[in-house]
Structure formats: C-alpha cells, structure tokens
Amino acid sequence: MIYRYAFGQPYDTDAVVLDVPPSEGAVPHLDVAVGEKGQDAVRFSFSMDPEDILFGLGETVRGQNKRGHRYVSWASDIPNHTENLQSLYAAHNLLLVFGKNRLFGLYLDDPGRVTWDLGWTRRDRAEIVSENGDLNLYILEGDSLKAIAREFRQLTGRSYIPPRWAFGYIQSRWGYAGEAEAREVIREHRKRHIPLDGLCLDIDYMDDFKNFTWREKAFPNLQGFLEDARKDHVHLIPIIDAGIRQEEGYAAYDSGKARQAFCTREGGEDFLAAVWPGMCCFPDFMNRDARQWFGEQYRPLLEAGFEGFWNDMNEPALFYTEQSLDRAFATAREQMKHPEDYEGMWFLNAAFNGMANNPEDYRSFWHRMDDGRRVRHDRVHNLYGAFMTRATAEGFRAFDPDRRFLLFSRSSFIGAHRNGGVWMGDNHSWWSHLKLAFHMLPNLNLCGFLFCGCDLGGFGCDTTEDLLERFLQLGVFLPLMRNHSALHTREQEIYRFSIWETMRDTLTVRYALIPYLYSEFVKAAEEDGMLFRPLAFDYPEDARAVHTEDQLMLGGECMIAPVFDQNAAGRYVYLPEDMLLLRFRSAEDYDEIPLEQGDHYVELQLGEFPLFVKRHAFIPLSPGAEYTDALDDAAFRTPGWDAEGAKYELLREDREMLGIEWKKE
C-alpha cells in the first residue's frame, strides 16, 4: 500500500512514475511538524525499538543498517570517504524501517537538502528534516521487506539494463596520455590472456578538458583506434563532465549559448565556475530544451561508434567561482593586517578550502524548470546529476531507441536508476573502502540502482597487490567491474603486479559467471527486485541473519561473503541455511564443500574467494572467455548440492530463456 502526502509546492523531480492520489488524514508511522518555509520546514520523526533496523539511503557511508549516524542528502564532490561524512555524491531519500513490531518505508521526493538523524542525537529516535518543505512524502506498507522494495520500484520505475558487454572487465585510469598508451594497455591484457571488454578514457583524451572535443595530437586517428579496439573486442568508454568551458568558437559553448541552455545568475548573466577546463557554464538540465541540446552533443560520438560513456563532476562540482575566490582573498587580506594573530590561520584555511562547492555559490544560480518556474539551484540541487543522466539517456534514445548503451554517472537521485548506473566515486586504496562499497550495494539496489560498482583497487592513494586482488574478488560479483585509479598514484593495471596470474584467474570466474549474473540482473530489473539483498530480506525471522553486516544475498541462489582484511587467510561466515561453499581459485579450479546451517570459519588464502550456493539449487558456470563476445551459452557446469531435479532458467541477452538442468559431475 502506498500513501502520498504533499507539503508546500512539490517539484517535478522525475523520480516517481506512478500517479498516487493524495491521502487524507494523519500520516501513519510518523510524527509530523510543519515549521517556517525555507528553514527546516518540515520534520518527520518516529521512535525506535532497540532492535529496529534501518535500510536505505543508497550511496552513504557506514553500514548496511543506517542506524546510529546523521546523514545529509546533499550531492557532494567529496574525495575522502571517511566515516564521519554525512553526504556523498548522491541523494537517495528512501528508508525502510524493520523491527519486531513494525515494517514500513518512507520516501521523501524532495530535491533539496534533507537531514536524517537516525538515532544520532538519541539512539531511540529518528528525525528527518526537509529544509525546503516542498515535497511529496510517500509511506510504503507491505508484508515483507522484499514486498516493500518491489512496491517502491513500481512507484519509481524499472531499473536501467546495460548491454551485456558492460558486465565484462573494464580497465580505466586517469592519466593515459594518448592512443599509444591506451593501445598498449589493451595489448598487455590480450598478450597475457587477462579478460577485457572495456577501456575508459578519462579527461586526458579531451582537448584542454573540453567536453565533446578530442586531443588530436594524442589521438591522431580516433576512428582507426576505435575500430581496432572493437576488432580486439574492447569498447572505448569516454568520460563526459557537466561543465562546458566558456569560450567563443568552441562548438559546444556556442551552440549551448545560442539555445540558452546554461544556468544563469539571478540577473540573467551566465553562472560561471572553474572545473577541469577552466571557467565553465553549466547546462540547465532541469530544462527540456537544454537537455535536448546536451543529448545531441553525444551524437557525433555515437555515430563514430562509441557505445558507452561515464558522466562525471555532476553534483555539480565547482572548484571555485570568482566570488568564492574573492571571499577567500578578502579573508587573506584581513589576516595580513594581523600577522601576529595565529588563530586567524584557521579562518584562512577554512576560507581557501571553502572555495570549492561553496553553499553560497549553490545559492547564486538559477534554473528554468520544465514547468516554467524559475528556481534557485540549492532548492533542487540533488537533481543536477540525475538530470544530466536523463539528458544523456534521452540523447541515446533519440539516436537509436532500440539499442542499449552503457552509461554510469557519479551523482544521482532516485529516478536516474531508470536511465543509467552509478559508480561510487573517488574511493581510496584502503581496506575499509572495500567494506564500504560492499555496504552500499544493497542500499543502492533498494533505491533502484542495480547497475553499480566501485573503483576496484581504489582510486586515490597507492594500492597494494593483495588489496587489488581482494577488490577484484568483490568485483567478480559487481555489475560494473571496473579498475580505476587517479593520476600520480601507483599504476594499477593487473599486469603491473607480481601476482597478475592470480588476478587473471580471479577474472576467469567473473567471465564464467557472466551469463548467470546477467540473467539474475535482468530478472531483478524486470521483476522490480534486487540483485544484492541484506540477509534480513531473505531470512527476516532469523535474528542472527538480520543483524549480519558483512554478507549479502546475491540473486536467487547465492550468498557472498568477501574477505575484507589485509593478511586474513579466511573469515567467519554465518549460513542461514545449508549451502554449498564454492571456494574459487579460478573458473577451472575450485572446491565444493557442503556446509550446514550455522557458523563456520572458512579458510581463504589470498587467491581464494567464496560463493555460497543454497542446497537444492545450483548455478550455471559457463566455460568463460577473454571477452563477452566469445561467451558460449551452451556448455554449462552446474555446481550444486543435492540439486536433483533443479532447473535454472537462464535469461539471455537476446531475451531467450534457456532451461538448464542440474547434472551430477
């Protein structure tokens, strides 16, 4: 059952696809207090029993269970994902409350700042505050967590499905200098039989970091390179950023300006901020015409043969504006008057650090919404990246409505899950970030983002080979399996490491699993389900399972439980039912160990990782390949325990169902 309550004048966020009539009477489950408009205007609160669990909020720090922290929905370009953070790149305003005595969901369709105090001030109380006060609140009721998750997806629409090749391994790095280097990366993978389906091109490919341009010196024969890469079964995936450099004579700027496609200051002049290309204008994605113009910019690249893109810097990230620069210098001039006052240094630091992504800057530009309203940016801030994704996807559809393209974005809002996937932004080569990514998976799925992944190996800092290997072991199960790292960090391609053969063997498991993973992914999308689920979703009666933070259900048959700690040679696992442990070293080399319900210690040396398959079920393991084009959907092995009579319906990319029966080996 879904109830809707409107507050103030809600914005059209494109998040909801169902037309839910407004409900009468008091809001169930919540206390509601309406305050002054524009100032923490609406508060929703509820009390919590000690054992209540909170799922949701998609891309956020900390655990699967969100209780015990304060989160703020405010899309932020923020590279240090430490556990004190309240915001990351996205805003996903869904919360499911699950306890002995209650079960409900709440969704705030609100594009402005929302604060979620989930037992932070008081462990037994949750308080959610909308700054705007212009929103639709949805209350979801159902008889299980799974039922509410499904209901929410029906409310917000079907998840995006990429082409199957996007499930292949993708190599990426900020800093590939040009075609020669990029070709070498592909060659090194192929030479060593390390599977590969995609190569991302970061901002280095652009002419002066300008969107929709090409640095001809570095990439002298783009068409030839693209074609050769495709012959090698590799897709090139360019990055596109949100900002468009203000420069007359630059086609994207000129055409955007002519179409009045950019955000403006209150008086109507262009809003400008510095990002990678220098001073930029920002497409007004809230506006239909601007979206159409932006979508058209991809066309020459699509015509050239590109089939996948990643959209970045779309919170939008602002390095500084002329105004924020002025404010910082004013503080510096003030400090120069009192050099003896060392405490002023703190203000100085804050002033310069605060130049980027400054709240005042977000209050200084305006959008023309589709409904004609002119709206100040901060009121709808969290929509910006989502609407960039929308513009891009609309551009793809206009180019070819029948083709699937790969698209993933850094910033997102619920609704964007219908148009593309997400990656989790600039993580670090830290062990804690392996776990952070794991924790985000089910909550992202809950919010509709089935196609997701993190930078394997870690983006910032120098990785180590054991960390990369453990990241890859998680990556085997992630829809987006991409190794990405930052400029000036240790080179992170698999072949750079002494244990590259171990890493290659890990990837063979991925390719053997792609038919199954893709099938489970598409089923989850089409049935409004989740690929990754907290154990509580499948075993709500099992008190031990519902509080398990470091294991996840995967698809219909499996459970995953990665190793998260450096130098660990195994881990404890709780099995909510009898399961077959598949301990993989490669697609050819794995142990099959039946384990009964209960606690187990599983030994997992560095090159080993587990997949647990429910007793009486099996998974289809394909012979694998070095790229998805060569995957064969015919000869499956069927590891399973006691699976007599079991059948798996494999959903293939061409939408054909292939019935696979269990065979005893």
Contacts with ligand GLC by CB under 6 A lie at 174, 202-203, 239, 312, 410, 425-426, 484
Q: CB-wise, 81 or 614, nearer to ligand GLC?
A: 81
Nearer of residues 202 and 520 to ligand GLC, judged by Cβ: 202
| Residue 488 vs 664, nearer CB to ligand GLC | 488
In whole angstroms, the minimum distance from the beta carbon of 81 to ligand GLC comes to 12
Give whichever of 63 and 421 is closer to ligand GLC, judged by the CB atom: 421
Shortest Cβ 310–ligand GLC spacing (Å): 8
**Minimum CB distance to ligand GLC, residue 255 (Å):** 23
Name which of 381 and 484 has its Cβ closer to ligand GLC: 484
Q: Write down the least CB distance from residue 555 to ligand GLC, Å.
A: 28
Q: Which of 275, 602 has the CB closer to ligand GLC?
A: 275
Strands (E), 410-473: 421-423, 452-453, 455-456
Least Å distance between CB 434 and ligand GLC?
A: 18
At 10, the amino acid letter reads P
Residues 6+ apart with CB under 8 A from 98: 52, 53, 54, 55, 145, 536, 540, 546
Q: b/e map of 329-354 (b: 16 or more CB within 10 Å)?
A: eebeeebeeeeeeeebeeebeebbeb
Cβ count near 30 (within 10 Å): 18
Q: How far is the CB of 425 from ligand GLC (least distance, A)?
A: 5
Element (H, E) at 149: helix 145-156
Q: How far is the CB of 240 from ligand GLC (least distance, A)?
A: 10
415 Cβ partners below 8 Å, 6+ apart?
A: 13, 14, 15, 16, 156, 157, 386, 390
Residue whose CB is less far from ligand GLC, 115 or 485: 485
CB of 503 to ligand GLC, least distance (A): 21
Q: Which is nearer to ligand GLC, 131 or 312 (by Cβ)? A: 312
Spatial CA neighbour of 165 closest among 402, 406, 389: 406
- 110/202 with CB nearer ligand GLC: 202
For tokens 């997400």, name the residue.
422
What span, in angstroms and rounded, lies between the C-alpha atoms of 81 and 103?
Answer: 31
Q: Which helix (H) or strand (E) holds 7?
A: strand 2-7
Nearest Cα neighbor of 157 from 392, 413, 454 is: 413
Residue 312 vs 633, nearer CB to ligand GLC: 312
Give the count of beta carbons closer than 10 Å to the beta carbon of residue 359: 12
176 or 396: whose CB is closer to ligand GLC? 176
- Please say which residue, 203 or 407, places its beta carbon nearer to ligand GLC: 203
DSSP reduced 3-state for 422: strand
Q: Is the peptide bond before 195 cis (omega within 30 degrees of 0)?
A: no
Q: What are phi and psi of 560, to 5 degrees?
A: -120, 150
CB atoms within 10 A of CB 401: 7
The distance in angstroms from the start CA to the end CA of the chain is 47
Q: How far apart are CA 133 and CA 39, in angstroms?
A: 8
* Selection from 13, 222, 241 nearest residue 134 by Cα: 13
What is the smallest separation between the CB atom of 518 and ligand GLC, expressed in angstroms?
Answer: 25
- Output the smallest distance, CB 486 to ligand GLC, in A: 6
The nearer residue to ligand GLC, 426 or 505, going by C-beta atoms, is 426
CB neighbours of 258 closer than 8 A, spacing ≥ 6? none
Residue showing tokens 């917000």: 156
CB of 239 to ligand GLC, least distance (A): 6
Burial 230-265 (b: 16+ CB within 10 A, else e): eeebbbbbbbbbbbbbbbeebebbeebbebebbbbe
- Residue closer to ligand GLC (CB basis): 203 or 512: 203
Alpha-carbon distances of 165 from 56, 236, 238, 306, 307, rounded to whole Å: 29, 12, 16, 13, 10
CA-based radius of gyration for the chain: 25
**Least distance CB 203 / ligand GLC (angstroms):** 4
- Per the listing, tokens 């932070």 go with 120
Smallest separation, CB 306 to ligand GLC (Å)? 17
Q: How far is the CB of 365 from ligand GLC (least distance, A)?
A: 21
> Which of 96, 239 has the CB closer to ligand GLC?
239
Please tell me whether residue 180 adopts helix, strand or coil conformation: helix
Tally the residues of the chain.
Answer: 665
**Smallest distance from ligand GLC to CB 314, Å:** 10
Q: For 420, which DSSP code? A: -
Q: Please list, in sequence order, all residues whose beta carbon lies within 8 angstroms of the beta carbon of residue 67, skipping any fewer than 6 positions away.
A: 48, 52, 53, 54, 118, 119
**CB 460, min distance to ligand GLC, A:** 9
Q: Is the CB of 486 or the CB of 514 nearer to ligand GLC?
A: 486
Q: Which residue is closest to ligand GLC by CB?
A: 174
Burial class of residue 609 in the structure, from the number of CB atoms within 10 Å of its CB (0-12 exposed, 13-18 middle, 19+ buried): buried
